[in-house]
Amino acid sequence: MNENKRVIWIDNVKVIAMILVVLCHFSQSMAESALISKSSALVFVNEFCYLFHIQLFFICSGWLFQKYTSYTSLGDYAKNISKKLVALGVPYLFFVLLSHLFKTLFSSYVNNQSGNLLKELFVSPMPPYWFLYVLFLIFLITPAVKTKTQSCVLLGVSVAACVAIGFPNEQFKILYAVEHTLTYWIWFAFGAFIAKAEPKKLSSPYSIILFAAAFAAEIFNFKYLNGDNFLVNLAISFLACGGILGFMSWVYRANKQTPIMGFFAKYTMPIFLMHTIFAAGIRSVLFKLGITNSAIHIVLGLIITFIGPIIATVLMEKLHLDFLLYPLKYTEKIKNKKKQTT
């Protein structure tokens, strides 16, 4: 998206989602390495965040898709899909390959061992890169709707698909691609619905009450239902996402960015893509040095997990390797040069 078209509240919702994803992955890796205890409080917070953090990314993607994409022909659809294949496929391939190599070289120090590379690429993607994989599949099946009614229909179909796929059936094994696409399509469609319908009442300081309600409901869900009820989880997800979206769209209604959020917004995707590499990397180095102190692991781990991807991005930009993060930036430059020479 062009800088002068940036929607600040959407950028900042993605910042919040990124921070939550990173903190959840970091805390889980620390617990798996026995550096912190896997307390019930930690499990509760992680389970609660997993009900809405990655969902926010899909919602933002759906919102932007609806606002800035239109199809008038099959050719337009094919052109958009080819762009998405490049934009998502290049970083996906690069970071899956890089993570696979890292896990192979440092297998003694990582929590999750590398598996079959082709399977990790095409059948069962590794976290967090599965997001890019699923997002592309969602782009494949989602039409650009033109009316509020159509956006309602799209949301309804995605809800039906999510509910149908949400109840496990041991006799019917579903492919990863199908299961995850239909599970998260609802959030993409929800974002498209918000963009088209523009519900004014959602943007309000009181929207935070929805998030508080989600938190309270999750306490009951965690204590009495073990977090296993699909429909309850779905309802809590909608409450939490609605609360964050409404509150953030109200806070940044003037579309003016703040310095700290603006800084992190610039590096949201690099941090999301690289945080597991740097978190595992610093943990491996500390273990190799014989350092097992939890406080050192937490402090250094968090610093490197957030700062490492930012430094890497700056270096990649200087070396013109940032096409691995933002390939469309370079394809557009090539197209513009061709236009100038013709």
| 161: CB partners within 8 A, 6+ apart | 182, 185, 186
Is residue 2 predicted with pLDDT exceeding 50?
Answer: no
Per the CB < 8 A criterion, the answer to whether 227 and 217 are in contact is: no
pLDDT recorded at residue 46: 97
pLDDT for 105-128, tens place per residue? 776 666 666 778 999 999 999 999
Is residue 1 predicted with pLDDT exceeding 50?
Answer: no
Q: How confident is the model at residue 306 (pLDDT cuts 50, 70, 90)?
A: very high
pLDDT recorded at residue 39: 93
Burial per residue of 276-291, b for 16 or more beta-carbon CB atoms within 10 angstroms, e otherwise:
bbbbbbbbbebbeeee
Mean pLDDT score, 68-90: 92
Average pLDDT, the chain: 91
pLDDT recorded at residue 229: 92
Q: Give the whole-angstrom CA distance, residue 88 versus residue 86.
A: 6
pLDDT for 42-51, tens place per residue? 999 999 999 9
pLDDT recorded at residue 16: 98
Q: How confident is the model at residue 66 (pLDDT cuts 50, 70, 90)?
A: very high
Q: Give the C-alpha distances (Å, rounded to integers) separating 69 from 60, 132, 245.
A: 14, 18, 21
Nearest C-alpha neighbor of 309 from the set 254, 266, 271, 253:
271
pLDDT for 288-298, tens place per residue? 999 999 999 99
pLDDT recorded at residue 3: 44
